[in-house]
Amino acid sequence: EVQVVESGGDLVQPGGSLRLSCAASGFTFSRYWMSWVRQAPGKGLEWVANIKEDGSEKYYVDSVKGRFTISRDNANNSLYLQMNSLRAEDTAVYYCARDRAVAGRFCLDTWGQGTPVTVSS
Amino acid sequence: AIQMTQSPSSLSASVGDRVTITCRASQGIRNDLGWYQQKPGQAPKVLIYAASSLQTGVPSRFSGSGSGTDFTLTISSLQPEDFATYYCLQDYNYPWTFGQGTKVEIK
């Protein structure tokens, strides 16, 4: 079964750091781009970042640039999101998703259940 | 960043109704658009990618159309399990951006 499972969400103080993990299984992880998407409480979805199959390309939403870093470990089928200088507005459920490319078009076709991050003093 | 504007923000419909949701991009995005369904407490699920391609396993009552700046998601005959929030997502350029969502409620 193709699946991704997030972990690492927690309560953290403003200015603090947190590292989220996403464990992939059931597919050849190294052949897919991967994304992080977040959802603040009661709000809509926000794409956060993604990373190419080999980690050579990374893209971010402007609000996290310079604070968040996406990375991956293909040997261990794992995706990460290092979050530094956290702010109250980063409070959200963070989803890991597989980016499936079909004829040059992307599709977030597999999602985890999400891991909650709360930034509060 | 490209802004995606969905309309309506919410709608009430009955089982069996035909439902149409629109998404407008602030600039042309070819057909680089997907539609996602999210039910309360669940992760999103892709319905449509590349504007009109039906994801495997998604019922054929869902369809997508459009190109450039204007896109439509249509549910031909609303079923009880379709009451959810729907989002469009452009993957034409970075940062990818979602619409604000359309909540489909029971009339």
Q: A3 exposed, middle or buried (CB, 10 Å; 0-12, 13-18, 19+)?
A: middle
Length of chain A: 121
| Residue A103, pLDDT above cutoff 80 | no
- Kindly state whether B5 is in contact with chain A, defined as any CB-CB distance less than 8 angstroms: no
B31 interaction partners in chain A (CB closer than 8 Å): 105
Distance CA A101, CA A94 (A): 22
Side chain identity, residue B64:
G
Taking one residue from A and the other from B, the number of pairs with CB-CB distance under 8 angstroms is: 64
Q: Which of B53, B94, B100 to probe by mutation at the A interface, max A CB count within 10 Å? A: B94
* The pLDDT of residue B78: 97
- Kindly state whether B34 is in contact with chain A, defined as any CB-CB distance less than 8 angstroms: yes
- Kindly state whether B64 is in contact with chain A, defined as any CB-CB distance less than 8 angstroms: no
- Kindly state whether B83 is in contact with chain A, defined as any CB-CB distance less than 8 angstroms: no
Residue-wise pLDDT tens digits, A59-102: 999 999 999 999 999 999 999 999 999 999 999 999 999 999 87
* The pLDDT of residue A105: 82
